[in-house]
Chains A and B, each alone.
Chain A
Amino acid sequence: MTGLLERPPGRLAGRTPVRLGPFSGVWRPRVIAVTLTGLALLVLVAAVNIGRGDFPISLAEVLAVLVGGGDEAQQFIVLELRLPRTLTGILVGAALGLSGAITQAIARNPLASPDILGVTAGASATAAAVIVLGGGNGVITGLLSAAGLPVAALLGGLFTAALVYALSFRRGIEGYRLVLVGVGVGAVAMAITSWLLVVAEVYQAAQATVWLTGSLNARGWEHVVPVGFALVVLVPVALLLAFVLGGLQFGDDTARGLGLNLNRSRGALILVAVALAAVATASAGPIAFVALVVPQICQRLVGSSRPPLLASAVHGALLTVGADLIARTALGTELPVGIVTAVLGAPYLLHLLARRNRGVTA
């Protein structure tokens, strides 16, 4: 909000409008440049990620296999092992980046991420319950275990988000109340998780910790399909709904004055963000930091007043796949990707903070 006041007034008038039928917007070449650069880097990193490993395959051979060539061993390794893993990384990262951008734009808080809606906390608690309690104890955990870890995590995440939404609904949804209720519900879920870790056997606790850190290890096509389907449906919806984000940016009263139906548009956007985050978390565990840092980084790269959606999705995918490449190959052992996303993302955010301290807006 303060950023608007600090900007020299001449810049606003100098922007070129773009009109297409009933829609209109402002021509922002930086948004397009940042998105396309991210996309190009993403393709490159994904190809390298598929090629590297215990059985190295050159870039040219990777491309050959992808269009149907290569020998049998290469086809198996690329198509059955590394491609699904990389695709899961791309899709999960894109979903997290987009979800984070939407959440931060609605909450108008740079600290907001889908975590605040309780999605990841709920999914984590459910997953920990499945790992620690197994099938033996009780009807609910038995049913969840039978459904499998990803489905259980998805249900847990969606249920928690629905709970947060229901508890914060009071003659409509207010961003402030939603965030605070989310903190409360998330704290309960996290307490349950840490209690489960204390009562678990050590090996179960270790297994749960890997999941809780976020890992792409041993992800196959069965993980790619649900995330891919979710993105195909949700990305267009998110981009359509995003038109109201500009109005929401000015606060409730102004947005209402601009003729927005606050509850409907905000509820729809939250639903999209939650669905994206829940599907992503169910597939790969809560990969830290992508949803939090990528929208902030993209906002600074683009120089806009709120996180750009498409650019956030592309760069979320880039960060996740790049982190997975490092997690798989940089050290001797294979780390969970969530550790690397945090180690990569945190210093970059700090660097941007130090360089453009004045550009930060709440």
Chain B
Amino acid sequence: MTTATATPAGAGLPGAPAGQRGAVALRRRRRLVILGLLALLAVAALASLAVGAKPIPLPVVWDAIFFPTGTEDGIVVRSLRMPRTVLGIGVGIALGVAGALMQGHTRNPLADPGLLGVSAGAAFLVVIGIYALGVTSLFGYVWFAFAGALAASVLVFVLGSLGRGGPTPVTLALAGVAVSALLTALTSALVLADTNTLDAFRFWAVGSVAGRDAGTVVQVAPFLGLGLLLAAVNAPGLNLLALGEDIARGLGQPVQLTRWVGLIAITLLTGAAVAACGPIGFVGLVVPHVARSLTGPDHRWLLPASGLAGAVLLLAADVIGRVLVRPAELQVGIVLALVGAPFFIALVRRRRPASL
């Protein structure tokens, strides 16, 4: 927790050759990790297309995707399960990458996109939309959620950067906690004032990928794409920041610029994810720890691994939620906590998670 000034011990230094053979082995291992995650993602995506209230055999799924003939199964796959699967992949990648970025920037292993007020801001504006403007469709929630996520995180960054020294990990985290608590309280006040708002809000707040159509995917895709691009640009700079701000500055890294790029990427990614699916916790918190234990702390590898692992986790949780209480469904947010938490606890118990 006081890793604020501590650099990762020994092998943690990104790019430092620990002997030629070790470096080669590490690179091969990281490639294997990425390939393995891609394979897992493919399996999860196929399962997501085939499994549900109406199980559809894989050959039929294949035909429905590539040779659509308009059969009933084909319509289920193309209009219901494909948007849901694509959205699950996109949101999973976004949450995984955002979580890794966030833990890197705040150097706090508890950092979670929810920490910067993103989820709370989105929830608050969604409630305002329902309460004051009578918005009840998912299509309408998206824009309110995105605006709220953006506004809340900008507020957190501005408040966290006040005072001398600009934004530091701790001030940002504290500002995020404060703003989140404030917005959550206001959300509760609105929800308690009107039962209809509570009724609409509680189904959004549980976090789900069900019932989203292709339109939702198209709406959030540009924000996801831009966010991922900024994250990729940010990775090398984040590696230098891990050495400490002073060393990073000494090595010629524009520290403030790196911070801002990272913060914008986090906001875009989590904002888009929350907007599309409601607040889905746990992916951004758990996945970076798992990915870090596989790839080590080098963000150029950690970010893609986190993204892929996030997508796998989200799709798997969604599929499990459809199977557990068939023909009803458990929302993915609930399944993620029920499945992800024991896994996370086992990981934490097994050994100390790789330091940041």
Assess whether B1 is in contact with A353, with CB atoms less than 8 Å apart.
Answer: no
Give the interface residue-count category, chain A. 35 or more
Residues from chain A with a CB closer than 8 A to the CB of B4 are 1-2, 362
Decide yes or no: A292 and B177 within 8 Å by CB, A180-B110, A205-B199 being known contacts: yes
Q: Report if A360-B168 is in contact (Cβ < 8 Å); known contacts: A177-B348, A195-B330, A343-B182.
A: yes
Within 8 A of A (CB), among B166-180: 168-171, 173-175, 177-179
- Find out whether the CB atom of A202 lies under 8 angstroms from the CB atom of B162: no
User: Which A residues, 331 to 360, have Cβ-Cβ distances below 8 Å to chain B?
Assistant: 333, 335-336, 338-343, 345-347, 349-350, 353-358, 360
Is A179 an interface position by the 8 A CB rule? yes
A218 to B: closest C-beta gap in Å: 16
Within the assembled complex, what's the spacing in Å between the Cα atoms of A2 and B181?
Answer: 27
Q: Mark B330-349, 1 if CB is under 8 A from A, else 0.
A: 11011011101110110011
B residues 6-64 touching A (CB-CB < 8 Å): none
Looking at B2, B202, B331, which has the most chain A CB atoms within 10 Å of its CB? B202
From B95-103, B190-198, B219-227, the one touching the partner chain is: B190-198
Task: Give every chain A residue within 8 A of B188 (Cβ-Cβ).
Answer: 209, 212-213, 336, 338-339
Given known contacts A2-B5, A187-B281, A357-B164, A345 and B181 CB-to-CB distance under 8 angstroms: yes
Q: Bound complex: CA of A168 vs CA of B344, how far in Å? A: 12
Choose among B178, B198, B353 the residue that contacts A180 (Cβ–Cβ < 8 A). B353
- Given A109-B110, A176-B352, A354-B162, A191 and B181 contact (CB-CB distance below 8 Å): no
Cβ distance B287 to chain A, nearest Cβ, rounded Å: 13
Do A288 and B171 have beta carbons less than 8 Å apart?
Answer: no
Q: Is the beta-carbon distance between B163 and A356 smaller than 8 angstroms?
A: yes
> A303 at the A/B interface (Cβ < 8 Å)?
no
**A335 closest partner in B (C-beta):** B189
CB pair A108–B182 under 8 Å, yes or no, is no
Chain B residues lying within 8 Å of A108, measured Cβ to Cβ, are 1-2
Docked pose: A109 CA to B110 CA in angstroms: 10
Give residues 62-116 of A contacting B (CB, 8 Å): 107-111
Interface check B323, CB cutoff 8 A? no
Given contacts A187-B282, A288-B181, A353-B159, A343 and B186 within 8 Å (CB-CB)? yes
Whether B184 is near chain A, meaning CB under 8 Å from some CB there, is yes
- Contact residue among A174, A175, A187, A288 (Cβ-Cβ distance under 8 Å from B184): A288
Please tell me which one of the listed residues B159, B178, B179, B202 contacts residue A293 in the complex, with CB atoms under 8 A apart: B178
* B327 CB-CB contact with A under 8 Å: no
- Nearest CB of B to A332, in Å: 11
Among B159, B195, B198, B349, contact of A177 (Cβ-Cβ < 8 Å): B349
Chain B interface, DSSP helix/strand/loop, else mixed: helix
A276-299 vs B, CB cutoff 8 Å, 1 = contact: the mask equals 000000000000110011001000
Q: Are B174 and A353 within 8 A (Cβ)?
A: yes
Question: A271 in the interface, Cβ–Cβ < 8 Å?
Answer: no
Q: Given A194-B334, A354-B159, A357-B168 in contact, is the A292-B181 Cβ separation under 8 Å?
A: yes
The docked-state distance in angstroms from the alpha carbon of A203 to that of B174 is 35
CB of B109 within 8 Å of the partner chain: yes
Category for how many chain B residues contact A: 35 or more
Mark A107-140 against chain B: 1 for CB-CB distance below 8 A, else 0: 1111100000000000000000000000000000
Contact of B198 among A187, A205, A340 (CB under 8 A): A205
Contact among A184, A195, A213 with B192 in the assembled complex (CB-CB below 8 Å): A213
Smallest CB gap from B353: residue in A: A180
A314 at the interface (CB under 8 A from B): no
Candidates A188, A213, A342, A353; contact of B175 at CB < 8 Å: A353
Enumerate chain A residues within 8 angstroms of B5, measured Cβ to Cβ: 1-2
Interface residue? A330 (CB, 8 A): no
Interface centre among B1, B171, B205, B334 (most CB of A within 10 A): B1
Q: Which residues of B contact A191 (CB under 8 A)?
A: 333-334, 336-338
Nearest chain A CB to B346 CB, angstrom units = 9
Q: Is A183 an interface residue (CB 8 A)?
A: yes
User: Which residues of the other chain, B, contact A339 by a CB distance below 8 angstroms?
Assistant: 185-186, 188-189
Determine if B108 is an interface residue (Cβ-Cβ < 8 Å).
yes
Cβ-based interface call for B250 (8 A): no
In-complex Cβ contact of B164 among A109, A110, A358 (8 A): A358
CB A346 to nearest CB in B, in angstroms, measures 4
Chain B residues with Cβ below 8 Å from A335 are 189, 192
Inter-chain contact B349/A350, CB cutoff 8 Å = no
Q: Are A110 and B341 in contact (CB under 8 A)?
A: no
* Distance between Cα atoms of A221 and B43 in the complex (Å): 59
The answer, yes or no, to whether B203 is at the interface (CB within 8 Å) is yes
Near A by CB (< 8 A), chain B positions 106-160 give 108-110, 159-160
Cβ-based interface call for A210 (8 A): yes
**Which of A206, A345, A353 makes the CB contact (< 8 A) with B162?**
A353
Q: Is A144 close to B, CB under 8 A? A: no
A202–B344 contact, CB under 8 A?
A: no
Q: Is B206 an interface residue (CB 8 A)?
A: yes
Is residue A170 within 8 Å, beta carbon to beta carbon, of the partner chain? yes
In the complex, A338→B337 CA distance in Å? 25
Complex interface: chain B residues within 8 A of A185 (CB): 341, 345
Bound together, the chains give a CA A338 to CA B184 distance in angstroms of 10
Q: Is the CB of A342 within 8 A of B337?
A: no
Q: Closest Cβ of chain A: how far from B98's Cβ, in Å?
A: 17
Contact B198 A209 (CB under 8 A): yes
B285 contacts A by Cβ under 8 Å? yes
Query: Once bound together, how far apart are the Cα atoms of A180 and B245, in whole Å?
Result: 26
- Using Cβ atoms and an 8 Å threshold, which residues of chain A touch B342? 184, 188
Q: Are A353 and B160 in contact, CB atoms less than 8 angstroms apart?
A: yes
Binding site for A on B (CB under 8 A): 1-2, 4-5, 108-110, 159-160, 162-165, 168-171, 173-175, 177-179, 181-182, 184-186, 188-189, 191-193, 195, 198-199, 202-203, 205-207, 281-282, 285, 330-331, 333-334, 336-338, 340-342, 344-345, 348-349, 352-353
15 A-B contacts (beta carbon < 8 Å): A1-B5, A108-B2, A109-B108, A110-B170, A167-B345, A181-B349, A184-B341, A195-B331, A202-B198, A202-B199, A206-B192, A209-B198, A350-B159, A353-B171, A353-B178
**5 tightest Cβ-Cβ pairs between the two chains A and B:** A357-B163, A191-B337, A342-B185, A354-B162, A346-B182
Q: Add 14 more A-B contacts to A336-B188, A342-B185, A357-B171 (CB < 8 A).
A: A109-B110, A168-B349, A180-B110, A183-B285, A188-B337, A188-B342, A190-B337, A191-B334, A194-B334, A195-B331, A198-B331, A296-B174, A346-B178, A357-B164
